[in-house]
Copies of this chain bind each other. A is one copy, B any other.
Amino acid sequence: MSSIERIGVGPRMSEAVAYGNLVFLSGEVAEDTTQDAAGQTRQILASIDETLKKAGTDKTKILKANIWLADIKDFAAMNSVWDAWVPQGHTPARATVEAKLAAPQYLVEIMVVAAR
């Protein structure tokens, strides 16, 4: 049995939880919520890069991504940033749906599972 390694452990959730060769990240939202959906997506993906690095992996090893948009009309804006970021030949399984997020200023939330 593998041990569980928790990264960025908070009182409510951890930034990421690694178990064996799998890494589960929390849903990430933008810090600067004055930005639009494209800008928020850019921040989130940069933050995911950092979290994956802390867990000893990177975006070429993402297995699955769940994306929530506060307004599905931002699908194209989010994708324009995603498509430039996701490494070609290493694209994950993905699903994107609309959902109201924890606070109205959040336009995008992304949760990934990666290998390491």
Which residues from 76 to 110 on chain A have a C-beta closer than 8 Å to any C-beta of chain B?
A: 79, 82-83, 86, 88-102, 109
Taking CB as reference atom, which chain B residue is nearest A27?
A: B95
Interfacial chain B residues near A72, Cβ < 8 Å: 100-102
**Would B13 and A115 count as touching, CB distance under 8 A?**
no
> How far, in Å, is A7 (CB) from chain B's closest CB?
9
Q: Taking the full assembly, how many copies of this chain does it contain?
A: 3
**Would A93 and B12 count as touching, CB distance under 8 A?**
no
Q: Which of B10, B16, B64 contacts A24 (CB 8 A)?
A: B64
Which residues from 42 to 89 on chain A have a C-beta closer than 8 Å to any C-beta of chain B?
A: 61, 63-66, 68, 72, 75, 79, 82-83, 86, 88-89
Contact with B along A3-32 (1 / 0, CB 8 A): 010100111111111011110111100000
Residue positions of A touching B, CB distance < 8 A: 1-2, 4, 6, 9-17, 19-22, 24-27, 61, 63-66, 68, 72, 75, 79, 82-83, 86, 88-102, 109, 111, 113, 115
List 6 additional A-B contacts (Cβ < 8 Å) besides A4-B115, A64-B113.
Answer: A2-B21, A13-B92, A19-B115, A27-B97, A95-B111, A97-B102
